[in-house]
Structures are given as structure tokens and as C-alpha cells.
Structure 1
Amino acid sequence: MTNSRQLSIAAILAVASASATTSASAAPETYQVDGSHTFPSFSYSHFGLSTQVSRFNTTTGTVMLDPEAKTGAVDIVIDTRSVDTGFATFNEHIQGEDFLDTATYPTATFKSTQVVFEGDEPKAIEGDLTIKGVTRPVTLEVNHFTSMTHPMLQKPAIGANASTRIKRSEFNAGKYAPNVGDEVTITIAIEAVQD
């Protein structure tokens, strides 16, 4: 085998190896939601006296990110029966037919339609929010995002905080509006770990 032929084969192998490495690094990464550190909360005006804040204790889902392609997907499922207002009687009340109707609709979901990047980070997540069987488009504004190695699990992890506003009457949950505020701010603190 001549030196020139050896060089040609080596060059082809080098290009193939570089292409494989580039493809691997550009592949989308999938993260599983860490339910022990992911809590959607909601706040609203209570007769104008105060802003009440409650949360849901059980959330599952996946997040897919491809920072190089600047694409992603978010799929979240909230167990509405896990609502936590800080008061057991009110937990039952808010699960009733006038509000979340958890006997009929035990989950609420968010499925993204587009992740909007600013530079290398997601800044907004557009998607469909479903509550009580009603689906409406919302935009989650991301005000914090981090990607790092989880210090305890030693796996790639992401964390974010995001929020949006809805009118509960648009989801057939408008009882006592406007005395109890119709506008609800939904905020989610999320952590997710790579598979």
C-alpha cells in the first residue's frame, strides 16, 4: 500500500470520526422531571384582601432540549388531586366541581408547541394547557434556566422557573369571580435529570 493511499484512508476515517462526534453532540437530550423538586403553584386575589398562593405536590413529565439546534419539547402532567392550599378543608373545596373537579379530571397537562431560545437558553415555552378538559394556548415566560451536572446524582440536569397568566373562567373554573380573582398566575419551579 502506498503512502498516498494510506493518507487517503486515514483522512476518510478522520472525517467520518469527526462527523460521528458532531452528530452525537448535536443529538437532543431528554430529561425526566424530578418530582421531589418540581412544583407548579398558582396565585390569585382573595377578595382583594391578599394574594393567595397554593401548589400541586405531584408532577411528572419530560423535557427534551437540543441547544445547538435551538429546539425543545416539554410535556408535563400535574396530579390535580395533589393540590395543597395549606388547609385540608379548602383542598377538598378546590377539588370540587366548581373548581378543578378532580373526580372527573384528575390531571392537568401542558404540552409545548415551541421552545423559543434567546442565545443558548430557552426564554419562552409556547404550548397547550389543559385543565378540566379545556385546552387553551399559553406562553410560559422563563425567568431562570440552568444546565449543569447534578452535584448529588452526577448526571446532566436542568432547572428552570417560568410563569404564565390565565383566566380560570376560561377553563370552566370561574366560581365567585370577580370577588375571588379570575386572573391566576401559574408559576412552575422545575428540575429534571437526564436519562
Structure 2
Amino acid sequence: MKKTTRLTLIAAAFATISSAAFAAPETYTIDSSHTFPRFSYSHFGYSKQLSKFDKTTGTIVIDREAKTGSVDVTIDTKSVDTGYPLFNEHIQGEDFLDTAKFPTATFKSTKVNFKGNKPVSVDGELTLKGITKPVNLKIESFLQMPHPMVKKDGLGANATTKVKRSDFNMGKYAPNVGDEVTIDIAVEAIKQ
């Protein structure tokens, strides 16, 4: 009886060690050629204006078994693309992004939230213009699989959140130009 109990405990210990060995965090490097943070806002109620940033770097760490992860993103704010060069300069000015003093914006996660083994949202801190505020990114789609082109594992996601420009000292022309800004992030990353 005692021998059977010991064998059961040993088997359970090995099973725990084996599953822990397979449940290691995986680190992915953001593919800047397929990652574009976009932002939209109301322009006098006439239309919803949509712009994006063309240069984004960072890493995503995920452990689906342990249901943990982290996201660390840096956006080059000088890469803002409104579709119009003169407006790109305007939005980089002191009243808005102030890229001369703040050439980057960052998002650093504090928690990745899972439903089952799939991430559904990310809590974190967004820093714009030197001001840091908590945000929650809702993940609208997520896929992790072997990448057919680069022959490595890849992941992709679309996430969204809303912020107020005025919270980041960029509230000029509000409320005529909408204070609420929707941020959508299309991200792809390749396993290191």
C-alpha cells in the first residue's frame, strides 16, 4: 500500500515537472512592417478622421498554459501618417504629440487577461507626451500559429481602446475636434 502511494506521488511529481517544462513563456518580436497603431476621432462631427503610426517596435511574451504574458510597445511618434504631409507636421507640434520633446509613445502591460487559453484583454500603462495613464486594450482577434513565410511561429492580434486627448495634454480644439480618441492596434510578431 505504502509503495503504491509513493509511486503515485512520484508519478504526480514527474507529471508536474513535465507539464511545467512544456509551459514555458514564449517571446515574440513585433514585426514593424505589419504592425500599425491607428487612431480615429470626430472632426467637427463631419467625419471620423483616421491616422496611423508607421514605426512600431517591441516584444510580446505569452504563456498560454500558465495564462500569463506581457506586452511592451514603443511607437515612433514622428512616424505619424495622416495622409497629408502638412497635417503630419501640425499634429507633431507642441499642441498635440510634441515630437520634438517626446519622440516616442509607449505601452507597457501590467496584466494579460485570458479566457480559457486565449488572451482577451491587456491592462497596462500608455505614455503619451510624457503623461502615463492606465488603459485596457480589448483584444478583438488573436491567432498564434506557424508563420507560412518565415518558417517560425508567429502571432497576430487586433486590439482597441479609447482615451481622451485632454488626459494627455493634447485637448486643443475640443470639443469641436473630438476629445475621445479610439486607438486600434493591428500587431504581428515573430517568435525569437
Q: TM-score, normalised by structure 2?
A: 0.91
Equivalent in the alignment of 2:71: 74
Equivalent in the alignment of 2:188: 191
Same amino acid, percent of matched pairs: 63
Equivalent in the alignment of 1:6: none
Instruction: Output the CA distance in 2 between the equivalents of 1:178 and 1:165.
Output: 16
| Shift, 1:25, TM fit | 1.4
Instruction: Output the CA distance in 2 between the equivalents of 1:24 and 1:133.
Output: 40
Equivalent in the alignment of 1:101: 98
* Matched letter for residue 57 of structure 2: T
1:102-181 maps to which residues of 2 (within 5 A)? Answer: 102-181=99-178
Unmatched segments (≥5 aa) in structure 1: 1-11
Equivalent in the alignment of 1:57: 54
1:16-31 maps to which residues of 2 (within 5 A)? Answer: 21-31=18-28
**Structure 1 ranges of 4+ moved more than 4 A:** 14-21
Larger Rg, first or second structure (1 or 2): 1
- What is the alpha-carbon root mean square deviation over aligned residues? 1.5
Equivalent in the alignment of 1:5: none
Equivalent in the alignment of 2:5: none
Instruction: Output the CA distance in 1 between the equivalents of 2:16 and 2:43.
Output: 58
Secondary structure of 1:178's aligned partner: coil
Is residue 37 from structure 1 mapped to residue 58 from structure 2 by the alignment? no
Unmatched segments (≥5 aa) in structure 2: 1-9
